[in-house]
Structure 1
Amino acid sequence: MEKPRQSWAGLWNISFGFFGIQIGFVLQNSNMSRIFQTVGASLDDLPALWVAAPLTGLIVQPIIGYLSDRTWNRLGRRRPYFLTGAIFAAFSLFLMPFAPAFAAPLVFAAGLLWLLDASLNISMEPFRAFVGDMLDKSQHATGYAVQTAFIGSGAVVAAIFPWFLEHLGVANVAPPGQIPDTVRWSFWAGGVALFVAIGWTVLTTREYSPEEMAAFEAENQIEQSHTIRALAAKNYGFALVWLVAGAAVLLAVAPLGLEKEIYLLGGLLATYGLLSAIGISMARKGQSANMLSSIVGDFSGMPDVMKRLALVQFFSWSALFIMWIYSGPIVSQYFYGSADPASAAYNDGANWWNLIYTVQNGVAAIAALFVLPVMARKFGQAYTHMACLLAGALGFLGFFVLRDPMLLIGCEVLKGIAWASILAMPYAILASNLPQAKLGIYMGLFNIFIVVPQLLVATIMGSIMKAFFPGEPIWTMLFAAAAWALAALAMLRVGSVLPAQSSTETADA
């Protein structure tokens, strides 16, 4: 039994909430360092304060995925989490501009960042699974492309809104210790937009009941206890390997002079080893109906297609994190001729980077709607993603070899196409090839392969640059180009395990 095909209006309603979620994420990413420094944080404090973002996603998404797979109430399966996340995220966006008025403003702002990021993840994770729930396999690529279009649109709106307010006469500067009005009003408007957009999806969609979902997936039913039995069959040496790896990383930080953030990576490895040992013990005792055993079991027993896509994600997001850290300084230093943050040329370069990065997000929105679905139908999802990643690699290579800032617009177009595919194709492939009953937990676990490369880049890349290319950040663009090229090659391994009927869209929406 196939799910009914959705019209374009249905696709719009299913994914419109992501427009608001992305507004929240971009407001957070664009302004939190500014807010932290306003309320007293030093530049050296920022990495520790920002660790909330990837760490919160790493913890929250698998838990919410597990819970949403097992939820059914008056609002449905995923929509209760959309609404809960929207309420707390809007609350956090509303309160953030008031941080300077509190007795411990830095602590207040840091706490709100944790709440905001957790709330955004509570809403975002089920949205990934929601598309898979609501659409037939033949519409998965189109559905995730529409979702990506809203991500790009939300990013553009959130990025230009402070600039727009400034041109309307709203003050972009404030006395020391105060947040500028452009940022305050952007957060308040963003909170309203986020709540309205997610509310629209909650009110305009009806989720399929558990009985309907069971009928749709009748030929693809899986035995729910399979991963628990597989976990129980593992020996404790599996957990010990992770514990030893984590301990080795922790002990190596000081002797090797590594960045302090490496402690977090070691802690995560050791924690996974400890949780694996607990999960194995519980599974062997027959305690299968618990979150820990299910999450650990599903992670260690991921389907083959998900394991192969994990490698693609690792290289894809490594390049993206390199881009977010280094692109602005590179544009200023190599295209505008200044590495001095106090110089006019440096700030001209920073402004140009902000503008062309908006181009990247705009292109992603357009490509998601008009390019990806056509390519997916013609070439299949795997080869579409491979081609888009190679285009993005050329975009990074352009930063390395070009010196005319106007030519960077073309580079951003190529990277925008890749960004659209990164946000759409892996999830379309997963939704079409994973058991529906566990789509939420698998989507949540997939987030790990977004977070880990960010943590690695944030720590290891700095050490590499200091050792081999001091004062020459342009080489990071070559690393990023190579990472996306490797991700594209890794897609060959993904395509080799996809059924022919599952790797393409058979018809348009």
Structure 2
Amino acid sequence: MTRQQKQNTKPKLSFWQIWNVSFGFLGVQFGFALQNANASRILSDLGADLHSLSLFWLVAPVMGLIIQPIVGSASDKTWNRLGRRNPYILAGGIAAAFGMLLMPNSSNIATFMTPLLFGAMMLALMDAAFNLAFQPFRALVSDMVSEDQRNLGYSIQSFLINIGAVFGSILPFLLTNVIGLENVADKGEVAPSVIWAFYIGATVMLGSVLWTVLRTKEYAPGENGLPELNQEAEKLPLGERLSGFFGLMKTMPETMKRLAVVQFFSWFALFIMWVYTMPAITQHIWGVDAKWFDPDYLSQVGQVPAHIAQAKGTAGDWVGIMFAAYSVFAAIASLFMAKVANQIGRKLTYSVSLLAGAIGYISIIFWQDSTLTMVNLGITEIEVPQGAVMLLISMIGVGMAWAAILAMPYAILAGSLPPKQTGVYMGIFNFTIAAPQIVSGLFAGWILTSVFENQAIYIMMMAGGAMLLAALAVYFVKENGSETAETTSEQATA
């Protein structure tokens, strides 16, 4: 091998080197999972109705739409003592921790605005910060890992993401049932178990992000196949740089365009799950009428009956158990996904996993047994309806889909991207994540109230149909590891 070839070839990394590259994502996902499992609960406690919940959740994809492409492009052109991607990962971790400390305390902090508005602002801050870290983590794996280790690299990242999600999702439940903190919220307040969960989540996130930043030495520009920094692009006027960015969108690889269709349906379904699982199971399994999610009705009755507040609190905790369960199943699936993809191909692995997710969503409607049963979770016992226990079976399929969504699109896409613009293209690819969530956020609440009469279980069935369409759409993706956007991208430099 010539000296030039050695310069252009990434070295083979050890398992623990690849582990360190993605370890910070464990903490970021810890925080993100806390948000996913508890944001609807917090916003409902602060006064949001079912229709407006999806509108508040729009903050996440909008922030992703704005921030990830900008961060992707900026990190492609960054090099300092921390590296190329690490400065953005660190900044995102610090900002997200700040938002996590403030959001659950909205009712105590907000004096110049309503607690609900302040909570929504902190949700926006957290989402902006999470997105600031997400994209550089994806690009960091592509930068550091060679082609023959790519499946392993993204599978390890998927595994760590799901380990973080497990503990982030289950933490409020543990604080209630093991530590003994109260999980019932007073009117207009947030339950103490949720507040302390966010404190712990902020600490874990910062610690893991620092681990990656301090333990990962990024390759310098021009080293191991990475391109030199394009200093000329930095000097271009903003208008020309924006024009170049939109030019890249027009000339994106065909693989990215077809993956966008799969992404649309799968992320449309995920958004619905994150927003409406809590009211769906509270109504469908705990038997709480939809009126108890209506702020106008709550203002009329004054005090929420104790049994209703307890049911909502228990169901909210159980959502954390469900989300932890699908993350456990996703982590297990991630351990085998690289080998399975090597054997049967990435596309088939991706499609079958999404099909399992569709079955998982649709099966939720069949679990409605309200018979109370004692469940031993190892660390504690809890009494819940039998139907709630059966939901854990549904989470097997959801976990398989989630593992594939976190790994397979990026593994398929990475071989289609030019090394000098991996970051910006990964940022552009986030449009395929943000756009379906925005569509879902704009219309899901209206569909729930106008079509399904606030019966949230039916919108979960609609999510299952969307996941099925995603599984079918994988068939049309053209995977070509040698495809790059070099030719077209040279015409439009971001």
User: Which residue of structure 1 aligns with residue 289 of structure 2?
Assistant: 339
Confirm or deny: 8 A CA contact 2:331 2:403 kept in the other structure: yes
- Distance between the aligned counterparts of 1:140 and 1:152, measured in 2? 18
Residue equivalent to 1:21: 28
Q: What do the CA deviations read for 1:292-348 (whole angstroms, capped 9, x no partner)? A: 123211122211110011111001111112323343444344445553546669646
The range that moved more, 124-133 or 138-147, is: 138-147
Aligned in 2, Cα 1:27/1:498: closer, same or farther, shift over 3 Å? same
Q: CA 1:387 to 1:500, structure 2 compared with 1: closer, same or farther past 3 Å?
A: farther
CA drift of 1:375 comes to: 0.8
Classify 1:388/1:181 alpha carbon distance in 2 versus 1 (closer, same or farther; 3 Å): same
Q: Where do residues 223-372 of structure 1 align in structure 2 (5 Å cutoff)?
A: 290-339=240-289, 341=292, 347=312, 351-369=317-335, 371-372=336-337
> Residue type of the partner of 1:104?
F
Change in CA separation of 1:336 and 1:108 when aligned onto 2, cut-off 3 Å: closer
462, 480, 493: which one aligns with 1:498: 480
1:162 aligns to what? 172
Q: Does the alignment pair 1:373 with 2:341?
A: no
Structure 1 residues 20, 209: CA separation in 2 closer, same or farther (over 3 Å shift)?
A: same
Unaligned regions of 5+ residues in structure 2, if any? 293-304, 370-386, 485-494
SS of the aligned residue for 1:208 comes to coil
| CA 1:96–1:333: 2 relative to 1, 3 Å | closer
Question: Counterpart of 1:394 in structure 2: which amino acid?
Answer: I
Q: Distance in 1 between matches of 2:430 and 2:481?
A: 24
Matches within 5 A, 1:408-427: 408-427=391-410
Is the CA contact 2:97–2:205 (under 8 Å) kept in the aligned structure 1? yes
1:209 has 2:220 as partner: yes
Post-superposition shift, 1:90?
2.0
Match of 1:148 in 2: 158
2:359 paired with 1:394: yes
Q: Deviations over 1:211-236 (max 9, x none)?
A: 114x4679xx99x99xxxxxxxxxxx
Between 406-415 and 469-478, the greater mean CA deviation after superposition: 469-478
CA shift in 2, pair 1:309/1:153, >3 Å: same
Query: Which residue pairs with 2:15 in the alignment?
Result: 8
The answer to which of 12-21 and 470-479 deviates more is 470-479
Q: Which moved more, 1:318-327 or 1:121-130?
A: 318-327
SS of structure 1 residue aligned to 2:84: coil
Query: CA offsets, 1:457-488, max 9 Å, x none?
Result: 22334444556544654443443333222212
Q: Does 1:116 align with 2:98?
A: no
Question: For 2:415, what is the secondary structure of its paired residue?
Answer: helix
Deviation at 1:204, TM superposition (A): 0.6
Amino acid corresponding to residue 109 of structure 2 in structure 1: A
> CA distance change for structure 1 residues 38 and 479 in 2, over 3 Å: closer, same or farther?
closer
Does the residue aligned with 2:222 lie in a helix, a strand or coil? helix
Q: 1:184 aligns with which of 195, 219, 236?
A: 195
Deviates more, 1:347-356 or 1:411-420: 347-356
The letter for the 2-side match of 1:304 is E
Where in structure 1 are there 5+ consecutive unaligned residues? 226-285, 503-509
TM-score in terms of structure 2 length: 0.79
CA contact (8 A) 1:329 1:339 kept: no
Question: Is the partner of 1:355 in helix, strand or coil?
Answer: helix
CA distance in 2, matches of 1:14, 1:379: 27
The residue number in structure 2 matching 1:103 is: 111
Alpha-carbon distance in structure 1 between the residues aligned to 2:451 and 2:98: 45
TM-score (norm 1): 0.77
* Cα distance, 1:469–1:101 mapped onto 2, change above 3 Å: closer
CA distance in 2, matches of 1:28, 1:332: 19
Cα distance in 2 between the residues matched to 1:330 and 1:176: 21
Kept in 2, the 8 Å contact 1:395–1:414? The answer is yes
State percent identity of aligned pairs: 41
1:101 is displaced (CA, Å) by 3.3
Give the number of equivalent residue pairs.
436
Mapped partners of 2:69, 2:472: distance in 1: 28
Distance 1:468 1:178 in 2: 31
Go from structure 1 to structure 2 and tell me whether the alpha carbon gap of 1:156 and 1:307 turns closer, same or farther (over 3 Å shift): same
Contact 1:132/1:432 (<8 A) preserved: no
> Using the alignment, how far apart are the partners of 2:37 and 2:472 within structure 1?
32
- Mapped partners of 2:465, 2:188: distance in 1: 42
By relative contact order (CA 8 Å, sep 6+), the higher-ranking structure is 2
Q: Give, in whole Å, the separation in 1 of the partners of 2:70 and 2:255.
A: 22
| Other-structure match for 1:265 | none
Cα distance in 1, alignment partners of residues 438 and 239 from structure 2: 32
Query: Is the Cα–Cα contact under 8 Å of residues 162 and 331 in structure 2 kept in the other structure?
Result: yes
> Alpha-carbon deviation of 1:67?
0.3
